[in-house]
Amino acid sequence: MQDSIRSRWLTRSSRARLLAAAVLTGGLLVAGSSVSSASSAASAGTAATAGSSTATGEGMIVNVLDDPHQFRVAYGIQPLLDSGIDGRGETVTILAPAPPANASAPAATDIRQDLKEFDSVFGLPAARIEVVTSLAGSASPWRTDGEEPGDFEILHAVAPAATLRVVLFPSSWSQSAANATADMLAGLRLAVSHTDVVSISWSLGEHYFTKAQVAEMHSILLGAAAHHVTVIGSSGDGGSFPTPQGWGGQVKEVSLPASDPLVLAVGGTNLTANISTGAYIGETAWIGSGGGFSHLYARPAYQDGVPGISKTRGVPDVAGDADATISLSGTSASAPLWGGIVALADQYAHHDLGSVNSAIYRIGRSSSYQTAFHDVTTGNNGYNATPGWDPVTGWGTPNAQVLIPLLASFASPSET
């Protein structure tokens, strides 16, 4: 039974990768009308073994981490969970398309059942789920066939006591770039209200947004920062050419909302860990990791003096495993990883940290950098990964047991 569930998640991961190739969507936190709530029941389960592995002199290693324990050990999350830092009191929300009304089984599933099975297989506590249908008008709010389950599974694995919310928007988003940008803005405005962390796995190249839409998005993000909401965005799955081919050809650029200086932009890596213990072994840059330099935003102050960045905003800021992590592939997996990390940091600090970009860059420049981050120095996305910050993996991936206490001390809730 566990093998069949695990197989289904890996299959869904491939489907999510294809979905992300058109437009990437992900997690946000929202409040509004038409909210439904539920707790997924969980029963005791046994941790799964890794999906694929190879033998090395260091023992068996795994590239596809389909066991949350491996993932949490590799990134230093497990010691925090063991000490009671588990995201309790925090809310994280994702933004996801509602499935079409005529969606048929088995493609469309029930998000409550998905999380219940996930919790059962991996021995996780029940997840509290809230669904906001104000935009989608869904008659079946628990119905899902997109990235929603994968984002929730990663968030729940990293911050198992946090409340998970999803804002659903109309399924027409995929029909055109105009629909996608309009839906993203409407969802973002709803998502940043009454929340702690927003994790967005959707992105679209900067050139698709009008000047008015760029200004509107930045205004929404300024409001989020003023209310100490952390907004996290995936950098995209198209490398340095994120534009979907069917929407007007390839353009070398970065994507919104990740490129807005108020968003923590998250790139992707290929993580290798010990299959038995989950111990970190190494990482390379994931070839699809979105990255590069903004055509819209000047270099923000927190990037001043960073080698490799010139006059404009560099993307991404940080990174995480994007190679079929647990149940989802691409930066749609690495963004919710950081959504969970920030939820843990908020709990550790006893207040919402809000915009954390300045703190991330202060840590990157500090003597603690090599212990707080895994610096990824190999691989490329059209740009090369290098020591320190680079436009493929940013500062690298987290060692949460060191990074989170530093974030709690470096970040001020008044940062914007």
Contacts of 163 (CB under 8 A, 6+ apart): 90, 91, 92, 128, 129, 130
Four-point Cα dihedral 256, 352, 407, 96, nearest 10: -30
Q: What is the pLDDT of residues 60-69, one digit of tens each?
A: 444 444 678 8
Q: What is the pLDDT of residues 245-290, one digit of tens each?
A: 566 667 889 999 999 999 999 999 999 999 889 999 999 999 999 9
Specify the CATH class of 2-410 in words: alpha beta
Burial of 282 (0-12, 13-18, 19+ CB in 10 A): middle
> Smallest Cα–Cα separation from 94: which of 195, 207, 240?
195
Q: What is the mean predicted confidence (pLDDT) over 176-204?
A: 92
CB atoms within 10 A of CB 298: 11
Tokens of 187: 């969802």
CB 99 within 8 A of CB 143: yes
Q: What angle do CA 124, 32, 232 make, to 5 degrees?
A: 55
Q: What is the pLDDT of residues 148-188, one digit of tens each?
A: 888 999 999 999 999 999 998 886 777 788 888 999 999 99
Per-residue pLDDT band at 37 (split at 50, 70, 90)? very low
> Smallest Cα–Cα separation from 382: which of 256, 235, 279, 247?
235
Parse the chain into domains and list their residue ranges.
Answer: 2-410
Quickly list DSSP for 140-184. STTEE-SSHHHHHHHHHHHSTTSEEEEEEE-GGGGG-HHHHHHHH
